[in-house]
Structure 1
Amino acid sequence: MSSADSAAPSGRPALIDGKAIAATITDDIARRTASLGVKPGLAVVLVGDDGASAVYVSMKSKKAEALGFHSVQHTLLAATTEAELLAVVADLNADPAIHGILVQLPLPAHLDAAVVIAAIDPDKDVDGLSVTNAGRLAVGDPSAIVPCTPLGAMTLIGTVHGADLSGLEAVVIGRSRLVGLPMALLLQQANATVTIAHSRTRDLPAVARRADILVAAVGRAEMVKGDWIKPGATVIDVGTSRVPDASKASGQRLVGDIAFAEAGAAGAITPVPGGVGPMTIAMLMRNTLDAAARRAG
């Protein structure tokens, strides 16, 4: 059954309510956690004093606690050396009470994120960013831990189309390791015909207009215009950007990669905020629970 708002007025797309769907998923996670017999352990590591990162880390830690997880947060100074950070990761790798490790990105410029991610035990890499998990995902290994944002986006697509996307054409705009590439793999594994588009794609609007499922993940405010969208398409907006808005107390508002006001041709669309964002945290919790379950046998 679709979780998109089928009561949307004629000529306007149905909204895919990521917040409501995420709440249903986290309710299920809480039930599974209570019956698991092992308390899932999530450790989040924050380096430096980036305000947005601190907010994200706090949200993740609070959600883990609310679900009955063992929640640990390490907050390190911006001047932390790579050796010091790797020592924290090594301790968490060795801690049997920790099943998931997340190092919040971006890191301060003097730290190499690739080196740090590579140091995380792949079976505790609940962000799914390690080369090991990327390789597992690429070959369809069911032990792969899938990056949280693409996994959440696929769950939203499933509420509209079901699990089998045979016969549907999907276009992913963006080819990042964090979202675009794993998103394309997940769509392909669900039997969609997939195109990865990016800044070097010739006639990007024409490519986007082929999509029955259009995923935008580039981080450019309202880049995808209404006439890029095929009538009836399912549109998943992964991007978040802040743009000036004098009507808001902060002077800014949050928008996605899709020019939402122009997207009337879409059949269903995720809003920003309230679409993919809540699903990312829900998938992080699910990845941690699954890691704990695997470790417990």
Structure 2
Amino acid sequence: MKATLIDGKKVSQEIREELKPRVQNLIQQDLKPGLAVILVGDDPASQVYVRNKEKACEKLGVYSLKHQLPSTTSQNDLLHLIDELNNNPAIHGILVQLPLPKHLDEKKILYHINPLKDVDGFHPYNLGRLMIGDPIFLPCTPWGVQELLSRYQIDISRKHVVIVGRSNIVGKPLSMMLVQKAKAANATITICHTGTENLAQHTQMADILIAAAGSPKMITGELIREGVVVIDVGINKVEDKLVGDVDFDSVVDKASFITPVPGGVGPMTIAMLMANTVKSAERTLHG
């Protein structure tokens, strides 16, 4: 029996519909949520992501401000722009599109964003609050994964979740979210990575397997057990095709649930970004 497909497009649309009345409520109080996106250089994938974010803002009624800067932009100029946005009351969320050109210090730039406008959830202040179980903004992709599991009524509590990948963007924050003593969490977590010996020994014990290593089709049918839930966070371009970190064809007949690529986790990231932007705007009213 084939796995049930987890439809990220459908769930992301549900979330956006739920956000609409919240946006309208803010607008009625003369407060339009505002998101600023900074794009440095002309990376084609980044341009697509930024365009999709702009479209999402437009459909939701969120004010969208894009700063497209040349790849030669200096660190000081970029920090100065972030200062302006930090102090702009019409902007509730600031997002610096990654990757940045190599001459820019990514860490220093991300740390310069006001944590209360850090709708990506990457600032150490927000990651620290996430770790102690008192988050303001959850990182968008991990939150999207958690929402998919929750909305497909896949129980996480007391389950063994194996995450393949330890990035600061997905693997680490997701592990912190799912281990919390909280709703849609309370799992036992194993994190695997490039230094893990005998990967199959760990992945075959998973109730829920989350692939976020950025390695095309690395999770094959041999690495999983029957009935596992498989969440594929990877998006890799191979010969002009988008493929995930999971070898879908060899896994789909063994898993109970699986996310496709594209159309799985990807659409959720932007939906959760919109949710964080709306939440940030609401915080300016209610604190």
Normalised-by-shorter TM-score class = over 0.9
Provide, for residues 144-177 of structure 1, a one-character-per-residue CA deviation record: whole Å limited to 9, x for no partner: x111000001101112345x62221000000000
TM score, norm. by length of structure 2: 0.95
1:259 aligns with 2:247: yes
1:239 aligned partner:
234
How much does 1:186 deviate?
1.1
| Structure 2 residue matching 1:45: 3-state secondary structure | strand
State how far apart, in whole Å, the 1-side matches of 2:186 and 2:211 are.
Answer: 19
Which of 177, 187, 211 is residue 216 of structure 1 equivalent to? Answer: 211
**Which consecutive aligned stretches of 4+ in structure 1 deviate over 3 angstroms post-superposition?**
none
Aligned residue for 2:143, secondary structure, equals helix
2:95 corresponds to which residue?
102
Q: What is the letter of the counterpart of residue 158 of structure 1?
A: S
Match status 1:268 vs 2:257: yes
Q: Is the 8 A contact 1:157 1:234 kept in 2?
A: no
1:13 maps to which residue? 3
TM-superposed deviation, 1:194:
0.5
* Whole-angstrom CA distance in 1 between matches of 2:151 and 2:225: 19
**2:161 match: secondary structure:** strand
Matching residue of 2:124: 131
| Pairing 1:155-194 to 2, within 5 Å after superposition | 155-161=147-153, 165-189=156-180, 190-194=185-189
How far apart are 1:295 and its partner, in Å?
1.1
Partner of 1:247: none
User: Residue 140 of structure 2 contacts residue 270 of structure 2 at CA under 8 Å; is this kept in 1?
Assistant: yes
Which residue matches 1:152? 144
CA contact (8 A) 1:172 1:217 kept: yes
Q: Deviations over 1:13-60 (max 9, x none)?
A: 000000000001011112210112321110000001111111111110
| Aligned residue number for residue 24 of structure 1 | 14
**Cα offset for 1:141?**
0.9
Per the normalisation by structure 1, the TM-score is: 0.92
Task: Give the letter for the 1:197 counterpart.
Answer: C
Q: Distance in 2 between matches of 1:151 and 1:66?
A: 21
CA contact (8 A) 1:169 1:193 kept: yes
Unaligned runs of 5+ in 1: 1-10, 245-251
Aligned residue for 2:158, secondary structure, equals coil
Q: Is 1:284 the equivalent of 2:276? A: no
Q: Considering only aligned residues, what root-mean-square deviation do their CA atoms show, in Å?
A: 1.0
Q: Kindly indicate whether residue 39 of structure 2 is the aligned counterpart of residue 46 of structure 1.
A: yes
1:129 & 1:274 partners in 2: Cα distance?
Answer: 24
Which string of whole-angstrom CA distances, capped at 9 and with x for unpartnered residues, describes residues 163-217 of structure 1? x622210000000000000111111111101001111112101200111010000
Q: CA deviation digits over 1:114-147, x for unaligned, max 9?
A: 000000000100001111111010111132x111
Q: Give deviations 1:68-90, integer Å, cap 9, x for gaps.
A: 11110001111000000001100
Give 3-state SS (helix, strand or coil) of 2:272's partner.
helix
Pick the aligned partner of 1:90 from 83, 105, 113.
83
Q: What are structure 2's unaligned runs of at least 5 residues?
A: none
DSSP 3-state at the match of 2:125: helix
Q: Percent identity?
A: 49
110, 113, 120: which one pairs with 1:117? 110
Shift of 1:97: 0.6
SS at match of 2:152: helix
Structure 1 SS opposite 2:101: coil
